[in-house]
Structure 1
Amino acid sequence: MVTSSPNEGEEKEGPVIRDKRRIDPETGEVRVQAGGSPAPEAPADGGDGDGKAEQGGEEVAELRRQLAERLADLQRLKAEYDNYRKRVERDRVAVREQALGQVLSELLPVLDDIGRARDHDELTGGFKSVAESLEAITGKLGLVRYGEKGEPFDPTVHEALMHSLSADVTETSVVDVLQPGYRIGERILRAARVAVADPDPEAGSDEPADEPDGPDAESGE
């Protein structure tokens, strides 16, 4: 006797595939849902999609504006810091030169004595060694001696104590240095005291005139 299985004669169920596409690929018609209404359409142009895009664009523009403001603030702060750093460095150099100037100004009479002794060949022995050491130290500190015969007269660095006319110069020049000048950098500690000479406007007017040629000149007529 043949017995049948309880499931015999029944079809086995496979996977169920439901096509949820809104447009029927065969007819091209809009499919009607089970309730009788067409499937909802995607939002048309100008709907919620464009609204969100417009809102996103406004947010990006606002972020760019804030970024530009922060960048401008950073650039302004950097410029202010650079100016402050330069001002501090300039003030530091000025304070250093001022302090050195006050100290070295007290040594100028000693340097003058050394210079006079050298001019009279009295700078000898131990005094010479001390003098040269002192001049070397002041030179390392930035002290510069200036003022030479023959250089053009400059009222900003020279003090004219004597004045004369000379046919040997073509411009106002230093003809003698009575006391040398000293400076540190651009700071003048003491102007050079000098004698100056201007070109003599009558130089050359005393030359004898050329004698006329011819028999009249020889006879004196």
Structure 2
Amino acid sequence: MSPFRDRRDAGRRLGARLDRFGGEDVVVLGLPRGGVTVAAEVAAILDVPLDVILVRKLGLPFQPEVAMGAIAEGGIRYVDQNLIRAYGVTDRELVDVETAEWRVLEAREVVLRRGRGRMALAGRTVIVVDDGVATGATARAACRAARELGAGHIVLAVPVASGDTLATIVDADEIVCVSTPTVFRAVGEHYEHFGQATDADVVAALDEAASRMSGRRRRE
């Protein structure tokens, strides 16, 4: 049986592992799209702000589902040189993939942020959340972007991950993970329901979180 019913269940279980975090200096960042659904539950449990961290996987030219790296807002890039050499990816192919993905990232920023400014991260504890980690490329890029944007302490938090991959991620100050299965092939295999999240889902989660924080400020 899969350990998580869906991303919301995963977010609630992950949030329970993060209950020591909270307060004005904490912000949760979700990786679009599916990671934002998980992150929304974490942010609600901790009662802290939610934002996106825009990241795009750089897939192999002939096998796009395999990440040879990733890019993130702020001009951040991570490239797995060992994998690139192993698959014989040329400089031209890498540039073409990167150029295409930067275009997609910029377009998605317009759609997902809808004129909202990026949340200030300087000096804050930033919890970077995705729905799982397989190769770790996008997680690394997201953590590096958060660091570049001034985060004081970075926590990579995921429901499920390859333990071998987590051991190689040094871009976060700490890592919180609910499950590290012995056999790990794909993130979706560890969910009963792992449907495609949409841009509308991301926008709705951000709107709901913004409304929650606005309501809290009025109560205070």
What TM-score does the superposition give when structure 2 sets the normalisation length?
0.20
TM-score calculated relative to the size of structure 1: 0.20
| Larger Cα-atom Rg | 1
Higher relative contact order, chain-length normalized (CA < 8 Å, sep 6+): 2
Hey, which of these two has a bigger chunk of strand by percent?
A: 2
